[in-house]
Structure 1
Amino acid sequence: MHLVEQMTSFDNISDCENDISNFSKETNAAFWIEDSNGRMIYPDEASMETSTASADYTVTFDEDESFIDMQPSGETTTNFYPFTLKNGTAYALAVQTDLFVVQQATKVLLSILPYVILMIFLLSLLCAWLYTRYITRPIVRLSKISKQMAELDFSGQCGTGREDELGCLAQNLNSLSASLSTALNDLQTANQQLKTDIEKEQELERQRVDFFSAASHELKTPLTILKGHLAGMLNGVCGYENHIEYMERSLAVVDRMEKLVKELLYVSKAEGTQKSEYKTINFAEIFRVQIATVTDLLEEKEQCLEANIPTRLYCEVEQAQMERAIQNILVNATHYSPSGELIRISLSETHGTIRSEIENTGVRVPDDSIPHLFEAFYRADTSRNRNTGGSGLGLYIVGKIMEMHQAKYGISNTNNGVLFWFELPCRQTIDNSI
């Protein structure tokens, strides 16, 4: 069509020869020109007889038609394009094209078409799988995290790199996981604390039951003795004629009961909620005062005392409680040491800690009894303790007082006897040893 437009600008056919020849070479097609009567005027008919002998066709065209198609004959096809020269003469440009190459290309395309369709199908499946993975991967991840959360595992975290609805959902799941994890940890801590408190309360209740059971047993024995003495004297039982002797025995029993009741009241008060008054005092002076209270016992049993106590050693304690603890320790040391033995007392301060040691010689505690010495009414040697008039609460009270002052304490056997020690943190120390 472009060639036809160029030819309309010429005055005669001879001017078009160069353009037609060049176009024929470029397109590898045969060209000729016919007039309105169907007679070939370019090139001449003699030169075209050979090339067109195999083509059987009839030409009809109208000047008003811009394109005339002919049915192909053999392996060529011919198209006619009417045009009018500048001088007004009408012609038709015939173009004959070889269809062999087109047919061969068509056959090749038809032969590879199934493979192309298969490749396109497989490529479509691959693209669909990749796209599905891209779309569903965050959903699968969210599903996995939510399943872990359902099993109370909050260690997983969702990726929050996306900014769409899935990214928002991932952020919400992370926030929910953190909140649930914190709440679960708090609940576990509270449950553990509650369990500890319940176990502690059960232990305290057991200790109370054991304590009052032991106290009842301790009171039952002197009451039975006292009742026997009184019944014997009132009924004139043989052997109870000397009322004064049995009245003295009964009085001793009452004294023991009174001492035991006082101990019980003291323990009850110590385990109560009364307010303790701590103040800084000269701890060494407490030792000296309590040593003076057991001087008569030492002289009675002809025991020697060796004390190494500084002049001043200040510490913050509850004075009445600490005096009671030191008194019980000294009395125990005096009672349970044989006559003529030695009692050593030392008091010192090192690096802000007061340490005291009280050793009574000539006696030894069975190793299996040492862990139980601070239990209420426990006696390592029952017969000996009964004779000394002990209530079985002395060391129990000492242990309670030491725990109240957050002190470390203990009893151990030495080469010479039994050693009681305790370590007490102090606020201020002024040590002028002599």
Structure 2
Amino acid sequence: MTKYIKQRLSVKIFIITFLLLGTACGGTYFFISKLLPTTYSNLINATTEKAAMHLAEQMADFNNIDDCENELADFSAKTNAAFWIEDSNGNIIYPNEVATEISTVSADQAVTFDEDESFIDMQLSGATTTNFYPITLKNGAAYTLVVQTDLFVVQQATKVLLSIFPYVILMVFLLSLLCAGLYTRYITRPIVRLSKISKQMAELDFSGQCTAAREDELGCLAQNLNSLSASLSTALNDLQTANQQLKTDMEKEQALEQQRVEFFSAASHELKTPLTILKGHLSGMLNGISGYENHTEYMERSLAVVDRMENLIKELLYVSKTEGTQKSAYKVVDFAEVFRVQLATVSDLSEEKKQHLEVNIPDRLYCEVEQVQMERAIQNILVNAIRYSPSNESIHITLSEIHGTIRGEIENTGVHVPDDALPHLFEAFYRADASRNRNTGGTGLGLYIVRKIMEMHHAKYSITNTSNGVMFWFELPCKQPIDNSI
């Protein structure tokens, strides 16, 4: 129970409020019950004393006590107290008809008056107070007015307070319980809501909002907590976005680094083979090994190996260059004309293999490209198609515009690529048929360079098998040239 109370602010406030209200109400009742008899007695005595002093002043205007009947009757009616008049010897001289009876009254008895008479029969009463007031008549006679005040009413009031004590305690308990509950609910309800919202914020959940429509400090705290929640939510979302972007960049960088490692590993392997061949030729000729006597033949073979190495190094340098190309070098060109120029450069190669080029290119077709890079990509595609197509086959070349997009297709017939090899054709030094590729004189970087250039231009591209052969296709967005004549 103690642990539960310590963990609940509402329970603490309820208990404290209940105790404070109970103590305040109980203390008020206690002081009233203690002070009421004394205060009431003092009030009655003060009233009686004032009336007695006034009576003494009135009697000073008379020569005989019997002449003061009216004043004595008024005094009795106002004070409701027992009184009598004594002479200097202590004898009661008024009223005369009860003097004998008074002499037999004990000390705990009091004298009372009828409402219509100045004196009535004596009877037992509660607590009393007796006061003496000197009286001097007009003729100089001195007497003493004895006033006996009955405090029975005070005793009755005290008994009433004591009799209603259980009901007062019950009322104080119920009232304290109700007030403590209402006060606790009013004070702690927004605090509990704020505590719940802050707990959600601590768990990085910023969906909750404080709806307390108050203008006091709790309302200000709720508004500040809402603002803090919104700010933290925005900051966390930005941080998550930045973290995701950083994670993506890191993964991309790792992938690029892996590609670089694989690329240079493959490049080293590709350079190692011709170097080994070249070293074998030179060692055989220098050491006079049998079979290497015809130096001219082996020198020509060595020169061919050196040419191949030179082409490979040029391709490697070009790959390095493409990765550094900037967007500022891009411009709008007639893509159809660029394609026709590259077709002219490879026409001799196709004629050597007696291949037939079927070309379907429109007069003009504009797009924004880096011209030098795109020319190299087109050349590599065309050369690759010619090299890997058998003699006397056809190569179909088509350019078209479809919904603002340039689509190019180069299909070489008479060949087929295994389906499992298609996704790897754009990898550096990948060869679906290693022996055939080496016989063609390729470096293994042609399609890799095409891939890099297409990615630079954010183009879509792929190689697929068709019913007649293999087709490379790509798509680039059209862009009309700016008319400077206006």
TM-score by length of 2: 0.67
Contact 1:349/1:429 (8 A) holds in 2: no
Q: CA deviation at 1:145?
A: 3.2
Contact 1:160 1:170 survives alignment (8 Å) = no
Q: CA deviation at 1:104?
A: 11
Which secondary structure does the structure 2 equivalent of 1:294 belong to? helix
Moved more, 312-321 or 257-266: 312-321
The structural deviation recorded for 1:183 is 3.0
Task: Please name the residue that 2:367 is paired with.
Answer: 315
Deviation at 1:210, TM superposition (A): 0.9
Choose from 134, 139, 160 the match for 2:186: 134
Distance apart, 1:149 and its partner CA: 3.2
**Are 2:215 and 1:162 aligned?**
yes
User: What do residues 147-178 of structure 1 show as CA deviations (whole Å, max 9, x unaligned)?
Assistant: 333333333333362323x3333333333333
- Out of 377, 397, 404, the residue aligned to residue 429 of structure 2 is 377
Q: What do residues 45-99 of structure 1 show as CA deviations (whole Å, max 9, x unaligned)?
A: 9xxxxxxxxxx986479xxxxx999986599xxxxxxxxxxxxxxxxxxxxxxx9
Q: 1:111 to 1:252 in 2, by over 3 A?
A: same
The worse-fitting range, judged by mean Cα deviation, of 145-154 and 197-206 is: 145-154
Q: Distance in 1 between matches of 2:257 and 2:119?
A: 119
Q: After the TM superposition, which residues 23-422 of structure 1 pair with which residues of structure 2 at under 5 Å, given as runs?
A: 59=111, 73=124, 113-158=165-210, 159=212, 161-164=214-217, 166-272=218-324, 277-422=329-474
Cα-Cα RMSD: 4.6
Q: Which runs of 5+ in 1 are unaligned?
A: 2-7, 9-22, 24-37, 46-55, 62-66, 76-98
Preserved contact between residue 344 and residue 359 of structure 1 (Cα < 8 Å): yes
**Cα distance change of structure 1 residues 346 and 103 upon mapping to structure 2, 3 Å threshold:** same
Question: In the alignment, residue 240 of structure 1 is paired with which amino acid?
Answer: Y
The amino acid that maps onto 1:161 is R
Once the 2 structures are TM-superposed, how far is the Cα of residue 353 of structure 1 from its aligned partner? Answer: 0.6
Q: 1:200: Cα distance to partner?
A: 1.8
Q: Look up the match of 1:80.
A: none
Paired AA for residue 385 in structure 1: N
Q: Kindly state the Cα deviation for residue 231 of structure 1 after the two structures are TM-superposed.
A: 1.2
User: Quick one: distance in 2 between partners of 1:417 and 1:71?
Assistant: 145
Q: Offset of 1:228 from its aligned partner?
A: 0.8
What one-letter code is carried by the residue in structure 2 that aligns with 1:336?
Y
Give the Cα–Cα distance (whole angstroms) in 1 for the partners of residues 204 and 121 of structure 2: 83
How far did residue 278 of structure 1 move?
A: 1.9
CA distance in 2, matches of 1:220, 1:368: 28
8 Å CA contact retained: 1:341, 1:362: yes
Give the CA deviation at 1:326.
0.8
Q: Distance in 2 between the 1:108 and 1:306 partners?
A: 125
Instruction: Please give the alpha-carbon distance, in whole angstroms, between the structure 1 residues aligned to 2:458 and 2:356.
Output: 32
For the Cα contact (< 8 Å) 2:112–2:121, is it kept in 1? no
State whether residues 347 and 355 of structure 1, in contact with CA within 8 Å, keep that contact through their aligned partners in structure 2.
yes
Partner SS for 1:360: strand
Distance 1:57 1:111, change over 3 A: closer
Asked if 2 retains the 8 angstrom alpha-carbon contact of 1:160 and 1:171, the reply is: no
One-letter amino acid matched to 1:404: M
Partner of 2:35: none
1:53 corresponds in structure 2 to none
Bigger helix share: 2
1:338-387 deviation digits (Å, cap 9, x = unpaired): 12211111100122110011111111111111111111111111111011
The equivalent residue for 1:96 is none
Give yes or no for contact 1:281–1:315 (8 Å, CA) kept in 2.
yes
User: Are the structure 2 counterparts of residues 59 and 103 from structure 1 closer, same or farther at C-alpha, using a change threshold of 3 Å?
Assistant: closer
Change (3 A) 1:243 1:57: closer
The offset of 1:199, in angstroms, is: 1.9
Classify 1:275/1:147 alpha carbon distance in 2 versus 1 (closer, same or farther; 3 Å). closer
Please give the secondary structure, in 1, of the residue aligned with 2:464.
Answer: strand
| Match in the other structure for 1:20 | none
User: Which secondary structure does the structure 1 equivalent of 2:329 belong to?
Assistant: coil
Counterpart of 2:179, as a letter, is C
- How far, CA to CA, are the matches of 2:155 and 2:414 in structure 1? 129
The answer for unaligned runs of 5 or more in structure 2 is: 1-46, 48-57, 59-76, 78-91, 98-107, 127-151
Using the alignment, how far apart are the partners of 2:330 and 2:305 within structure 1? Answer: 37
TM-score (norm 1): 0.74
Structure 2 distance, partners of 1:70, 1:216, is 143
Identical-residue share of aligned pairs (%): 79
Residues 11-62 of structure 1, C-alpha deviation per residue, up to 9 Å, x if partnerless? xxxxxxxxxxxx9xxxxxxxxxxxxxx99x9xxx9xxxxxxxxxx986479x
Return closer, same or farther for 1:72/1:192 CA change in 2, 3 Å cut-off: farther
